[in-house]
Amino acid sequence: MLIEKSDINKHNEALLKDHKRKFEFLAEGFNNTNDILQKLIAFQIAIPSWALGTGGTRFGRFSGGGEPRSLEEKMEDIGLLHSLNQSSGAISLHIPWDIPENINAVKALAIEHNLRFDAVNSNTFQDQAGKEYSYKFGSLQHVNKAVRTQAIQHNIDVIQHGVNLGSKSLTVWLADGSCFPGQLNFRKAWQNTFESLQEIYAALPADWKVFVEYKAYEPNFYSTTVGDWGQSLLYTSKLGPKAYTLVDLGHHLPNANIEQIVSLLLMEGKLGGFHFNDSKYGDDDLTVGSIKPYQLFLIFNELIEGMDAKGMNHAADFGWMIDASHNVKDPLEDLLQSVEAIMISYAQALLVDRKKLTAAQENNDVVTAQEILQQAFRTDVRALVAEARLLAGGSLQPIEFYRNKKIRQKLVAERGAKTITTGL
Ligand SMILES: [Mn+2]
């Protein structure tokens, strides 16, 4: 469904006076407002193709209706989000759930919706139709070389799909691990996984990256073969310069200091990308910023500090992606909330007075250091983020627009109430 620009303008007009009042009040407090606005406009977050339908849990799935039935409809949904917030101009594909049937048509659709293809994701956590071997006991780590070969080939196929679309990176998340002590020889599992990753690495085009994602537990509950950032860093360091670690916020043990992990990976030049979500207990895949907004701000604070120290481009040098699942919310509304939360944290982190913070750190002035961070975090930057959206041609209030225009109802009418998103 294409959103008419004139509808967005009309919607914005009614909100403009109130918005301008809030924005001007806020902007008075900064001397680099334009610089911040330009950075916000440039910052794009990839939407994963698997987050557009209702995810559900192992206990059940409650469809919201009107869910996309094909890759093309998923792209239309992301195009819809992007036209509203102007910050969702990328898609991260999951293979084999989203294998394009007609490459040229899919590429044309991406251009129509102003989307680029971010990392492509392989899947060796499920058995695939028509494939000889099962991944029940792992894929790249498997004790049987034939299983490993099948999984390696799948990843190479995924790279080829990505090349066809113009993607530049592959994300490998492995469910590999063990559920019980004694099940696995850790050393052999590590070696098998490493050798498999080496073969995948060798198939990467020159200008590609591979992201090795880690996860503490689930679906395996005793050990995971890429279980934490240290293990991922070990793989990516040994693989070579095209290999990077990917941080998924939900993939840590409780209370892990993710901002410190991010800072050190960045320092080592091994941070490649992000999967944003939020969690209370584990890999909950909740709306970004819904549970721990301060943590998200602290992560962005380290990201900006580290990227600026290296002269990196905030928007272009990492893969910024959402990885979430929606059980009770409309997925599109949830994604609008997530993108907004990311932009708010990014904007707040841009407000941190770096010079003063460095001085406070050098003087061991703990109180001032904390005050500086909290000054930025407690600034309500929503009008700043909205102004960036407005300048880019988006909606001042995306969720309000979405509801006023009854977009979900229209999608249900178009696609049906009982649709199930491919892959879910
Ligand atoms: Mn992830």
pLDDT digits (tens, 9 = 90+) for 111-154: 999 999 999 999 999 999 999 999 999 999 999 999 999 999 99
| Mean pLDDT estimate for the chain | 96
How many whole angstroms from 226 Cα to the centroid of ligand 1?
13
| pLDDT confidence band for 60 (50 / 70 / 90) | confident
Residue 424 has what pLDDT? 59
What is the rounded average pLDDT of the residues 270-292?
96
How many whole angstroms from 111 Cα to the centroid of ligand 1?
26
How many whole angstroms from 48 Cα to the centroid of ligand 1?
10
How many whole angstroms from 271 Cα to the centroid of ligand 1?
14
User: pLDDT digits over 86-104, tens only?
Assistant: 999 999 999 999 999 999 9
How many whole angstroms from 246 Cα to the centroid of ligand 1?
8
**CA distances (Å), origin 314, targets 43, 44, 298:** 7, 10, 16
How many whole angstroms from 69 Cα to the centroid of ligand 1?
22
How many whole angstroms from 122 Cα to the centroid of ligand 1?
12
Q: Could you give the residue ranges of the DSSP H alpha helices within 2-144? A: 5-27, 33-42, 71-85, 103-112
| pLDDT confidence band for 318 (50 / 70 / 90) | very high
pTM here?
0.97
How many whole angstroms from 304 Cα to the centroid of ligand 1?
22
* Cβ neighbours of residue 166 closer than 8 Å, sequence gap 6 or more: 107, 116, 117
Please identify every residue whose CB atom is under 5 Å from ligand 1, which is an ion: 248, 275, 323
How many whole angstroms from 224 Cα to the centroid of ligand 1?
14
User: pLDDT digits over 146-196, tens only?
Assistant: 999 999 999 999 999 999 999 999 999 999 999 999 999 999 999 999 999
Does the structure show a pLDDT above 90 at 337?
A: yes
Helix, strand, or coil (residue 215): coil
